[in-house]
Structure 1
């Protein structure tokens, strides 16, 4: 077998890459050192009896939320990248998302679709409407964006009232103030913690598809605008009911994270997040583009379309070498 044939056989294709939809959930880490050892990636925790090591199932995780006091070695980061696991740096308890580290070997198919949809007011409006339709199940025909925002606001207020009655909560008002975190009631603490974890997982899904977290269609002005767009699709069904169910919990933040991990597995939310991102960007291509086997790198041509990279096209075009004149 010659060298060129061997390189073609070993060249990475999309089919070889881990699919984010196959990942189970997320892992929140705080005050640990994540290292690579002979058996895989593990979290090393210092205790009075010495250092304990807990194995991390890298291939089964969509993302790892790196909280305060967490350090990670380069070798461990490389393993996460090979398995398609995204690393997201977050604040205490998973609240606030600061940065995401994504694998380099990603196709730009969905990024290009996102940019095309975002760059035109008409197509951007179409994506925003599909997002509201995803939340409602359906949207009133001909409703403006302002009307859809109003419908969503009324829906959330009604949901708060319904859940407050169900759990016998006398009064609830949504409040998120990081500067006065300890003064908030258990529902607000649980909701903020659950939403932050939801943002981390959605952030991982957005990065794993190669999309830009900054190019939002409803939200704008932040590097996580698209993350907030997608996360809003699930709050009414997942994080808000979960937060109200923890109204009497002594540790609502920790319990919210634990139960949300279980919910991600039970509801199979990661495949749904991937499918919803694809659907709102391009309904016709959802579920198909991104799973096909193709070269990861190609050349753009406005007429011929994608062309294979790594090919010398010097003899295929009618060109004049300036040095030959």
Structure 2
């Protein structure tokens, strides 16, 4: 029991690591979780600091032992199987998450979420809240991140201010989730255009199946954000199916709702910057993870979901 307590001593909102592994074997050895890579001359073992890890993505050519899964579950690490580069090989929009089966999480947030979720109007309130927070996070982050400002991603730029004002106005006036989705698509299109201009990328069209570098990096980075969102919801005990914006018929859609809080601010600009610099996939991934840490992305997700669950449910009339 002492070992279990030690493993979970770091709050999930404070953990620093997301791992994506491919062409290796994950195993338990001497009380640690390691991954083994096969070199020509010798095999090499690398340690995974599971107590400071939120999620583990297993890509192509990977395997994992039962003993390693047991330790990962004890540490509260989410494990997902995915395709190459962190994106699913066969499915376009979902990772199958393997959640640690320890049901000792608080029920406060699930109960709060359920109190409002069955009311269409209250779901819309939370969806609009998330969209406003998404815009605020981008504006704040782009105003203080020196690296992004040096690349032209400045929140006080006229085109960005115009996009933010238009987004906020349409969010406030939205009467349906469809209105919000339309405003979101328009906002993202404006940001893509601005990012392409800042980096000299040329004509850009967002296509998830496209093979150009920016689209590939956007796909990869988005799945890193999905990992953070899935971790947030698992820790708070809120099932992924209770979405507020992306549709009640899509399993796991709440992961997309929560990931959207940080995608525009972090993933979008770095995808274009790294594409311009001909960065490798690993370099792009490291940049995203560092930005998540620097700007407390996981903390932000936790605070937004917790506030939505508690404050919205408090406003919902009880019978």
Q: TM-score range by the shorter chain?
A: 0.7 to 0.9
The question of 1:270 aligning with 2:298 is answered: yes
Aligned to 2:20, the other structure's residue is in SS state strand
What corresponds to 1:215 in structure 2?
A: 242
Alpha-carbon contact 1:26-1:61 (below 8 Å) kept: yes
Aligned to 1:232, the other structure's residue is in SS state helix
What corresponds to 1:88 in structure 2?
A: 80
Q: Against the structure 1 CA distance between its residues 230 and 256, is the aligned structure 2 distance closer, same or farther, given a 3 Å change threshold?
A: same
Alpha-carbon contact 1:190-1:252 (below 8 Å) kept: no
Is the helix fraction higher in 1 or 2?
2
- The Cα shift of 1:281 comes to 2.5
Q: Give aligned pairs, total.
A: 271
Aligned to 2:276, the other structure's residue is in SS state coil
- The Cα shift of 1:114 comes to 2.4
Distance in 2 (alpha carbons) for counterparts of 1:278 and 1:91 = 31
Q: Which of 194, 201, 225 is the matching residue for 2:253?
A: 225
Distance in 1 (alpha carbons) for counterparts of 2:263 and 2:311 = 22
Distance in 2 (alpha carbons) for counterparts of 1:128 and 1:116 = 15
Q: Against the structure 1 CA distance between its residues 89 and 205, is the aligned structure 2 distance closer, same or farther, given a 3 Å change threshold?
A: farther
Deviations 1:166-199 (A, max 9, x none): 111221111111xxx5xx2111111111112211
Please identify the structure whose Cα radius of gyration is greater: 1
Alpha-carbon contact 2:9-2:51 (below 8 Å) kept: no
Write out aligned runs for 1:217-256 (5 A): 217-220=244-247, 221-250=249-278, 252-256=280-284
Aligned to 2:306, the other structure's residue is in SS state helix
What corresponds to 1:53 in structure 2?
A: 45
Distance in 1 (alpha carbons) for counterparts of 2:198 and 2:251 = 37
RMSD: 2.7
What corresponds to 2:60 in structure 1?
A: 68
Distance in 2 (alpha carbons) for counterparts of 1:18 and 1:80 = 14
- The Cα shift of 1:278 comes to 1.3
Write out aligned runs for 1:1-325 (5 A): 18-96=10-88, 97-103=94-100, 104=102, 105-137=104-136, 139-140=168-169, 141-145=172-176, 146-177=178-209, 184-220=211-247, 221-250=249-278, 252-283=280-311
After the TM superposition, list the runs of 4 or more consecutive aligned residues in structure 1 that deviate by more than 6 angstroms.
Answer: none
Alpha-carbon contact 2:113-2:313 (below 8 Å) kept: no
Q: TM-score, normalised by structure 2?
A: 0.77
Deviations 1:33-81 (A, max 9, x none): 1111114111111111222100111011111111122211222112112
Distance in 2 (alpha carbons) for counterparts of 1:57 and 1:164 = 37
Distance in 1 (alpha carbons) for counterparts of 2:216 and 2:267 = 11
Unaligned 5+ runs, structure 2: 89-93, 137-166, 315-319
Q: Against the structure 1 CA distance between its residues 252 and 172, is the aligned structure 2 distance closer, same or farther, given a 3 Å change threshold?
A: farther
Distance in 2 (alpha carbons) for counterparts of 1:112 and 1:18 = 25
Alpha-carbon contact 2:130-2:261 (below 8 Å) kept: yes
Q: TM-score, normalised by structure 1?
A: 0.75
Alpha-carbon contact 1:67-1:89 (below 8 Å) kept: yes
Distance in 2 (alpha carbons) for counterparts of 1:174 and 1:28 = 24
Alpha-carbon contact 2:199-2:276 (below 8 Å) kept: no
